[in-house]
Amino acid sequence: MTQENERQIHNSLIRINDNTWELPTDYKQGMKVPGRIFLSKSLIEALEPDAIDQVANVAFLPGIQKYSMAMPDAHVGYGFSIGGVAAFDKDTGVISPGGVGFDINCGVRLIRSDLMATDVRPMIPELLDALFEAIPTGVGSKSRVRVTDDELDGIFTDGVQWAVENGYGTIADMEHCESQGRISGADPSKVSIKARKRGRPQVGTLGSGNHFLEVQYVDKIYDEKAAEAFGLKEGQVTFMIHCGSRGAGHQICTDHLQAISKASKKYKISLPDKQLACAPAKSPEAQDYFKAMACAANYAWVNRHVIMHWSREVFEEFFADQFGDLGLDLVYDVAHNVAKLEEHTVDGEKKELYVHRKGATRAFPPGHHDLPEDYRKTGQPVIIPGSMGTASYVLCGTEAAMDISFGSACHGAGRVMSRSHAKRELNGEEVQKDLGSRGIFVKAQQPSMIAEEAPDVYKSSSEVVNVVHELGIARKVARLLPMGVIKG
């Protein structure tokens, strides 16, 4: 793409307000709705033109409602931009694997504690060693637990309920997972033998890439009432787990993309990009994918639940004798890459929609029936991780989000440098040393993994979070700063 083409794409955007840009339907013939991109002026100038083009391409899909959207962490992805959100009518719309991604239900959970940073900081290196030993990490990592075929079926269908019934976590944990850690309608018969083979040995593994377990502390409280409801206070130690459905989810996406690609032609759906392969939501192909996707999503919730359980054991071994009950309660767990059937109001009419969130977080408002009772007054916790050396944030969903973004917010900082570029430009050992000089300790299988996830390869998490806060789709509650990180 030439610089002139890049300028033309950026010049096509119409500024609606400080943080909202519209891509009109005449940008590309065939767009059924406008695009909406939620970015500050400085962030929009840095956005890849190809990501803007992807927002336009999603607007071609049948049954799309209101807008094709991109959150402030948007960057180029497969089909949809990462940070892309789109909702499709249950009856006239489509389901697209490109709107979910390969790492189905990659997500993040936050666990609070009664520990204080001043007590924990001197022990961070030893604590990381113990966590690194307890949590299998890296490409192809194998779990400490082996599940049978019947148990794998239970994971696919029951999600976190399976984990709790098998001794991992509690009922209270289940209540603090999005959708109680389970998408209904999962059907293991729609999961291939290859996907099952990949998933069976990986329950309770962190994986690689941008996945991590981070020990943090609460640096700042913005909303005292919401923070109190979430059990957060300044100086307190927390830890965050970010991972997904591992090989099972990747294989499920790969398998069903083949069938969905054929279905796009079968149903004569005109696509501007073959990566947007989709099928009518009611079609057998779309429903088969959705049932398999639900299996992967439920698997991912179990994966994070098991990792949380083992992490709690490490914390208890380190600190229980000194501090007694540690108060290691799950604040919340949110999914990033998923499609869900939800009820939303469009032009005054209630509709059932398949909401695709690709690198985006659900942000439901106070009073919503899908929230646990103790969060009904605050709205849903929205957890936005930083990038190893930068701040993470806890926010809460708002009523405005339901109107602006189908109850969605950003999911992280968003990459500005590819992994291959990062490994060429950065030295992992130097990044590790620099972070250590700032009091942030990092462990990984290889230095290259630290290089490709260095803070410099991401946008500013603070600037990204400020956009959703100023838009009013999620309100800042607390800022968390890292003390130690284990990477895949």
Q: What is the per-residue pLDDT across 410-432, written as a single tens digit (0 to 9) for each?
A: 998 777 777 788 778 888 888 88
Cα dihedral 451, 207, 362, 461, rounded to 10, equals -10
Q: What are phi and psi of 45, to 5 degrees?
A: -65, -25
- Domains of the chain, each with CATH number or no CATH: 3-99 (no CATH), 107-182+202-247+299-330+362-487 (3.90.1860.10)
**Could you give the CA distance from residue 352 to residue 305 in angstroms, rounded to a whole number?**
30
**Could you give the CA distance from residue 243 to residue 209 in angstroms, rounded to a whole number?**
9
* DSSP class of 415: B
17 pairs with which residues across the strands? Answer: 20
pLDDT of the chain, 488 residues: tens digit per residue: 666 666 777 889 999 999 999 999 999 999 999 999 999 998 898 899 999 999 999 999 999 999 999 999 999 999 999 999 999 999 999 999 999 999 999 999 999 999 999 999 999 999 999 999 999 987 777 778 889 999 999 999 999 999 999 999 999 999 999 999 999 999 999 999 999 999 999 999 998 888 999 999 999 999 999 999 999 999 999 999 999 999 999 999 999 999 999 999 999 999 999 999 999 999 999 999 999 999 999 999 999 999 999 999 999 999 977 767 899 999 999 999 999 999 999 999 999 999 999 999 999 999 999 999 999 999 999 999 998 889 999 999 999 999 999 999 999 877 777 778 877 888 888 888 888 889 899 988 888 888 888 878 777 889 999 999 999 999 999 999 999 999 87
Q: What is the pLDDT of residues 190-243, one digit of tens each?
A: 999 999 999 999 999 998 888 999 999 999 999 999 999 999 999 999 999 999
Q: Which residues contact 203 (CB under 8 A, 6 or more apart)?
A: 143, 145, 147, 155, 299, 302, 303, 306
* DSSP class of 102: S
Q: What are phi and psi of 379, to 5 degrees?
A: 95, 165
Under DSSP, is residue 336 helix (H, G, I), strand (E, B) or coil?
coil
Helix, strand, coil in percent for the chain, rounding step 5: 40, 25, 35
Catalytic residues, by residue number, are: 411
Give this prediction's pTM.
0.95
Distance in angstroms between the alpha carbons of the first and the last residue of the chain: 34
